[in-house]
Amino acid sequence: METTLRGVGVSHGVAIGEVRHMGTAVLEPPAKQIRPEDAEREQGRARKAVEAVAADLIARGNLAGGEAQAVLEAQAMMAQDPELMADVERRIAVGSTAERGVYDAFAMYREMLAGAGEYMAGRVADLDDVRNRIVARLLGVPMPGVPDSDEPYVLIARDLAPADTALLDPSLVLGFVTEEGGPTSHSAILARALGVPAVVALPGAKELAEGTLIAVDGSTGEIFVEPSQEKRGRLERAAAERKAALAASSGPGATSDGHKVPLLANVGGPADVPAAVEAGAEGVGLFRTEFLFLDDSKQAPSEEKQVEAYRKVLEAFPEGRVVVRVLDAGADKPLDFLTPADEPNPALGVRGLRSLLDHPDVLRTQLTALSKAVAGLPVYLEVMAPMVADRTDAKAFADACREAGLQAKFGAMVEIPSAALRARSILQEVEFLSLGTNDLAQYTFAADRQVGAVSRLQDPWQPALLDLVALSAEAAKAEGKSCGVCGEAASDPLLACVLTGLGVTSLSMGAASIPYVRATLAKYTLAQCERAAAAARAADTAEEARVAAQAVLSGE
């Protein structure tokens, strides 16, 4: 009998296939004591296992490239944390086996992370995966990972670790469903990059029996269990129509009446550029530069290394627009040389621009490197600061850009509600705004973007979030300046129409979403988008906003 479940759709497309569950490693090793003379040997075993797991994560990152590489390198840094390793060795010295020492040390670190504020708690799943991989290697049991199968399937998991998601084979894994996670979790971001339909935050996902036939709609978040032939036919026809529309869509982003909406790509480094170019991106709306700094948490990369990496991206978009975000460190991206180690709540502490202003040499080097990288290139460079709270922040950043001799437009990200509320004030100091809807939702609703239990508050359709977008766009229009969106909200084709109706002037997203957004925008006039935006803002809930906008655009 057909039943329907609903989670949070995070990656477009429809997948129909049988359920396969993610395998798990033995989580807790036996608590047995070793002889004192065996401690040194066990410590050596632990060190070798940690280094092997770190090397494996880095190798997987190198294969995957792009955003996945940065995520996996951050996990490798977790594995090699010197304080954590010292704790493992202390536990072994007083009688623990290598595997038990690792398990107990990680448990202590896990408890600290879980209690360090919701933002850091979102890293617990990544930490658990690192622990499981080390313990599995020490016990000689299979690594946690995707199941072996010769036939395509839909993967079900409590959550997916980045190391698993990054190397999924789309020819076998038709789509995936997780019980935890949110629309901006690592799994969701990597699913969009792979182009794999995905639904997260589905209560009871693990109860779906192995071999059950399900249909996953990554756009709506619906899961159809044992769908009828009629339902399967409808879903397959809709998917075919969508594919045909994508194939027919090309050129710059615009509404059906010619209102231009540049469609840009979010990139995490040079490895993401080919997909962005292939998707027809008109430039880069968010160039995340953290990938360079995660290679070594002890020191910043040299100016020469930065120049080389930036130039590779800038060269790919002649006559295009490339918006670079300066280093956004802190919270879930701590760096030993930059961020405090003892902050009680890193997400609300010294993060982003605040860290850079505390370390002006790091900011100066990055700005100088960007200035050298763009020299002689026919590209429109724009540079923006993360976590801008007010005009004082904006002025400090603009002054730093000028002092570095940077020939570019300077902008501010709107990720904190205060920046949206005082956007006109901030625009007295900078030339453009860019809305990071992931963090803006997190700070507006006090809802961690990695925690599935509060996923309804991370939904970018929340009317309160749309109000803040509208405030920012209206302020930019009044000042004759631009206001783009570079958060994951832009990757939702229907929401892209609403954002356009709110007055947003450009949309930036993962490359895989660009064709969907381009095709959808081209179906509607600017006036229709504006009416859909008004209807969405008049709603009281995210779901009501989505339904209201859809009704306007479908002419109901």
How do residues 470-491 score in pLDDT, each as one tens digit? 999 999 999 999 999 998 789 8
Q: Is the pLDDT of residue 249 over 70?
A: yes
Distance from C-alpha of 284 to C-alpha of 197, rounded to nearest angstrom? 24
Q: Is the pLDDT of residue 550 over 60?
A: yes
* Among 81-85, 144-148, 236-240, the least confident range: 144-148
pLDDT, position 144: 65
Distance from C-alpha of 370 to C-alpha of 366, rounded to nearest angstrom? 6
Distance from C-alpha of 263 to C-alpha of 275, rounded to nearest angstrom? 14
- 8 A C-beta contact, residue 440 and residue 414: yes
CA angle 133–99–112, rounded 5-degree value: 75
Q: Is the pLDDT of residue 531 over 90?
A: yes
Distance from C-alpha of 324 to C-alpha of 382, rounded to nearest angstrom? 6
User: What mean pLDDT is predicted for residues 177-191?
Assistant: 76
User: Quick one: tokens of 456?
Assistant: 């309804």
CB atoms under 10 Å from CB of 165, counted, come to 30
3-state secondary structure (DSSP) of residue 72: helix
Largest Cα separation within the chain, whole Å, is 79
Phi, psi of 157 (to 5 degrees): -150, 155
- 8 A C-beta contact, residue 291 and residue 268: yes
- 8 A C-beta contact, residue 71 and residue 166: yes
Residue range 340-371, pLDDT digits in tens: 766 777 778 888 999 999 999 999 999 999 99
Q: How far is CA 467 from CA 312, 422, 543, in A?
A: 37, 13, 16
Q: Is the pLDDT of residue 534 over 60?
A: yes
First to last CA, the chain: 31
- 8 A C-beta contact, residue 516 and residue 529: no
Confidence band, pLDDT 50/70/90 cuts, at residue 119:
very low
Q: Give the distance from CA 40 to its chain's centroid.
A: 41
Taking the CA atoms of 261, 311, 410 and 469 in sequence, report the sign of the dihedral they define: positive
Taking the CA atoms of 137, 142, 147 and 148 in sequence, report the sign of the dihedral they define: positive
Name residue 101's amino acid: G
Place of tokens 């975000």: 325
pLDDT, position 25: 55
Confidence band, pLDDT 50/70/90 cuts, at residue 297:
low
Instruction: Please list, in sequence order, all residues whose beta carbon lies within 8 angstroms of the beta carbon of residue 356, skipping any fewer than 6 positions away.
Output: 326, 327, 329, 362, 363, 385
What is the DSSP code (8-state) at residue 185? S
Q: Is the pLDDT of residue 121 over 80?
A: no
3-state secondary structure (DSSP) of residue 219: coil
- Say if strands 14-21 and 213-217 run parallel, antiparallel, or are unpaired: antiparallel
Q: Is the pLDDT of residue 117 over 50?
A: no
Q: Give the distance from CA 143 to its chain's centroid.
A: 25
pLDDT, position 237: 87
Distance from C-alpha of 117 to C-alpha of 104, rounded to nearest angstrom? 22
Q: Report DSSP letters for 79-108, one per residue.
A: HT-HHHHHHHHHHHHTTB-HHHHHHHHHHH
Q: 3-class secondary structure for 302-343?
A: CHHHHHHHHHHHHHCCCCCEEEEECCCCECCECCCCCCCCCC
pLDDT, position 225: 94
pLDDT, position 66: 66
Distance from C-alpha of 179 to C-alpha of 158, rounded to nearest angstrom? 5
Q: Report DSSP letters for 146-173, one per residue.
A: PPP-SS-EEEEES---HHHHTT--TTTE
Please identify every residue annotated as catalytic. 186, 486
User: Quick one: tokens of 544?
Assistant: 């009501």
Confidence band, pLDDT 50/70/90 cuts, at residue 512:
confident
Distance from C-alpha of 184 to C-alpha of 473, rounded to nearest angstrom? 23
pLDDT, position 450: 59
User: What mean pLDDT is predicted for residues 133-158?
Assistant: 82
Name residue 387's amino acid: M
CB atoms under 10 Å from CB of 402, counted, come to 11
User: Quick one: tokens of 317?
Assistant: 């978009």
Query: What global pTM score does this model have?
Result: 0.70
Q: Which residue has the higher pLDDT, 278 or 475?
A: 475
